Amino acid sequence: MFRAISQLDNVYLYCHTTYPDEGWDVPRLLVENSIQNRTFFSYICVNCKKVTASKFQGLNIQCAYCNNDAFLPQTRLACSEKELCNIINCFDLYAQISSCEALGIPSIESTACGVRVLNVNYSAMSDIINKLQCISIEPDAFNTEPQSGRRMAAISSENIANKIKQWINVNDNKQLVRSHYDDNYPFNKSIENWIEIIDSIPIENKWQIPPDIQNPEEPNWNLPNDLFIEECIIKTLKLPDFLGSWSHAESLTALNAGIFINNGRFEKIEKKNIFEYFLNIRNKINHWESKRKQCIEQGFI
Ligand SMILES: [Zn+2]
């Protein structure tokens, strides 16, 4: 995005984002692309909560309204909806340049403000493009992220710059843009959908069924791995539904390998650990089922 802006004349970039974060090195991107003078950031005042738009000046500046400290937006320091609405209404175009995305809330917020959205035609963004009549950018390529196996879109700066060039001077009809939001994501319609879904779920009153409190038994330690885990599930955990579950499969894979990966670290695993894993689940079930039993006996449910 920063590089795309550097390829355009008379185009300004506004970033409503925090720094430092586990993401981009913002000062470096500004300097590398020589766009320090046409990139603005939101700084939010800790005192009056008003937003000052400023060129990048590090983590904090002096609030233009009350002279207190103003910081880049953070989860603990957000601006009001009204302020965000004012910020978005300064834009000619909102660019959602993501390699993948679920429901991109800012795209919906921008459309609600009548500001046209530039969106990547990939993952859930494709759905939003159709619904909100966004300007669509086709990815130039796809990369597979090694850690997660996710397919990520790659969008070149030239691609972004060309789209912005085509659209930046289009005199959009803000009411028309807003209507795409009203047609698809109005607040009341979302609430109605939730009510309909929740109401359609059949009520299963299980509070009064007999408590599932059972004594865990030890498996036969001499069994081969596969049969040993089956016994752990049947005799220790006492939940036959766990047979064939993800936990069952993962336990068998780990026990056969003798190791499992915990937060990126290899750890040794043996039958004792598998037994303790299922025993722990059974103990938790017994604990909470005992609480429910007490509630039934005391007439609370
Ligand atoms: Zn202030």
Question: Residue 237 to residues 50, 219, 281, 290, 301: CA-CA distances in angstroms?
Answer: 56, 10, 7, 16, 26
Going by C-alpha positions, the residue among 147, 146, 111 that lies closest to residue 128 is: 111
Report the separation in Å between the CA atom of 44 and the middle of ligand 1, taken as the mean of its atom positions: 8
CB of 282 closer than 8 Å to CB of 216: yes
Report the separation in Å between the CA atom of 43 and the middle of ligand 1, taken as the mean of its atom positions: 10
Please tell me the pTM assigned to this model: 0.73
What is the rounded CA–CA span in Å between residue 278 and residue 254? 14
Which domains are delineated in the chain?
1-90 (no CATH), 92-184 (3.40.50.2000), 225-297 (no CATH)
171-210 pLDDT, tens digit per residue, is: 889 999 999 999 999 888 889 999 999 999 998 888 889 9
Count CB atoms within 10 A of the CB of residue 244. 10
What is the rounded CA–CA span in Å between residue 249 and residue 183? 45
Report the separation in Å between the CA atom of 57 and the middle of ligand 1, taken as the mean of its atom positions: 16
240-264 pLDDT, tens digit per residue, is: 999 999 999 999 999 999 998 887 7
Report the separation in Å between the CA atom of 89 and the middle of ligand 1, taken as the mean of its atom positions: 21
- Torsions phi, psi for 188 (to 5 deg): -65, -35
Say how far residue 278 (Cα) sits from the centre of its chain.
Answer: 31
Report the separation in Å between the CA atom of 28 and the middle of ligand 1, taken as the mean of its atom positions: 28
Report the separation in Å between the CA atom of 188 and the middle of ligand 1, taken as the mean of its atom positions: 34
For range 20-39, the mean pLDDT: 92
By the CB criterion, residues less than 5 angstroms from ion ligand 1 are: 45, 47-48, 63, 65-66, 68
